[in-house]
């Protein structure tokens, strides 16, 4: 039996509680996706910290919040999309800023999916597993799908 491929996910979120929640959802993805992929989560508590961690990549996926101190998630998305080394890395925005204009702006800057908080862990897990096992899922407009959960998180 061969070892599973290991996917590195950079999680950028200023809330320690939300980082723990997302990490738990991704660790559950290890079990749900087995034997497809093992996930290693690297955490950053700010956009600035994420910029320091990016050169230590590569990362197979980036998950970011929007509202953070110093460099916000939209600025981070913009930076990653302009970076020669990271521009093709799939990006998921997870945010309480769930107005259509916020979603549209995030996707326009280059995010591949947007999930509104609160969300069900399975929603994020399924989206992450899809990116990591099948590559980018396209929806109309060439972007993968990612919609807010209708339920409480």
- The DSSP string of 53-114 is HGGG---SEEEE-S--SSS-HHHHHHHHHH-TTTTTS-EEEEES--SHHHHHHHHHHT-SEE
Question: How many angstroms separate the CA atoms of 96 and 93, rounded?
Answer: 10
Show pLDDT as tens, one digit a residue, over the chain (153 residues). Answer: 455 678 999 999 999 999 999 999 898 755 655 546 788 999 999 999 999 999 998 999 999 999 998 999 999 999 999 999 999 999 999 999 878 888 899 999 999 999 999 999 989 988 998 898 865 433 333 334 444 333 333
Helix (H) or strand (E) holding 40: strand 38-44
Single pTM value for the model? 0.83
Domains along the chain with CATH numbers: 6-134 (3.40.50.2300)
pLDDT at 1: 46
């Amino acid at each position: 039996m061969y070892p599973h491929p290991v996917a590195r996910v950079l999680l950028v979120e200023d809330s320690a509680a939300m980082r723990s929640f997302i990490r738990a959802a991704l660790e559950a993805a290890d079990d749900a996706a087995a034997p497809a992929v093992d996930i290693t989560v690297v955490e950053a508590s700010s956009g600035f910290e994420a910029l320091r961690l990016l050169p230590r990549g590569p990362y197979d996926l980036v998950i970011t919040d929007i509202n953070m101190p110093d460099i916000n998630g939209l600025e981070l998305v913009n930076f990653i999309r302009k970076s020669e080394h990271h521009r093709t890395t799939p990006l998921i925005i997870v945010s309480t800023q769930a107005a259509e204009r916020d979603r549209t702006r995030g996707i326009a800057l280059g995010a591949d999916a947007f999930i509104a908080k609160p969300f069900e862990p399975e929603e994020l897990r399924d989206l992450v597993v899809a990116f990591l096992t099948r590559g980018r899922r396209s929806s109309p407009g060439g972007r993968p799908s990612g919609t807010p959960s209708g339920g409480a998180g």
